[in-house]
Chain A
Amino acid sequence: AKNYLSLGLHDEVEESDDVPFSGMKLKPYFHLKKSEVLDQVKKMGFASDYHPQQKDFEKYPLEDILLLFDPSRAYGEKIVWCTTEASYNHQMERLNGIRQAVLDEFEKENSPEAAAGEEAAVQDEPDVNVVVRDVPKECFEWKSETAENTHEEVRAFTVQNSRPLLQMMITRARGQFGKSTKFSDSGENNQNCRPQKDHNFAPPKRELEMGIQAVKETRTTSCQTTWFRPVNKSTQYTPSDFLQRGADLGYAKVDELSAFLSNVSVGVEEALQTNETVDIFQEEFSHLGEEEAGAITKTHSKLKEHPNFHDVTYTKGKRIEWVEWVPNSSEMVVSSCCENQPFTDRLENSGKASVSTVLVWSFADSLSPHAILESPWEVTVFKFYPSDPTYLIGGLANGQVAVWKLSTTDLGFATKSQNSRPGMEEEKHSTIPTVVHRQISMIDESHRKAVVAIEFMPATLEIERRGRGASEKNPADAPMKYFLTVAGDGQVMIWDFQAMLDAINDNDFLWRPVHRVQLQRQDSGTEMGLCHILHCHDRFDDKGTKLLTNFYATTEEGELILGDWAARGEEDRKADVVKKMYSSCKTFRPMQSLERSPFFPDILLGVTDWAFYLFKDGLSEHLFMSSYTSTYYTRGVWSPTRPSVIFLGLVSGGIDIWDFSDQSHKASLSDTGASVAITSMMFCYHGDIKEGQKLAVGDAQGHLHIQNIPKNLIKPGGREKENMRKFLDREEKRVRYFQERQQELRELKEQMEKAAMAQDETAKDKTEDLDKEDAIAEASYQKLEAEVKEQL
Chain B
Amino acid sequence: MGAVVGTLTLQTRQRRPSSDKVDDDLELSVVCHRPEGLEKLEAQTNFSKKELQVLYRGFKNECPSGVVNEEMFKQIYSQFFPHGDASTYAHYLFNAFDSSHNGSIKFEDFVRALSILLRGTTTEKLQWTFNLYDINRDGYINKEEMTDIVKAIYDMMGRFTYPALKTDTTKQHVDAFFQKMDKNRDGVVTLDEFILSCQEDENIMRSLQLFENVI
Partners in one complex: no
Chain B residues near A (Cβ < 8 Å)? none
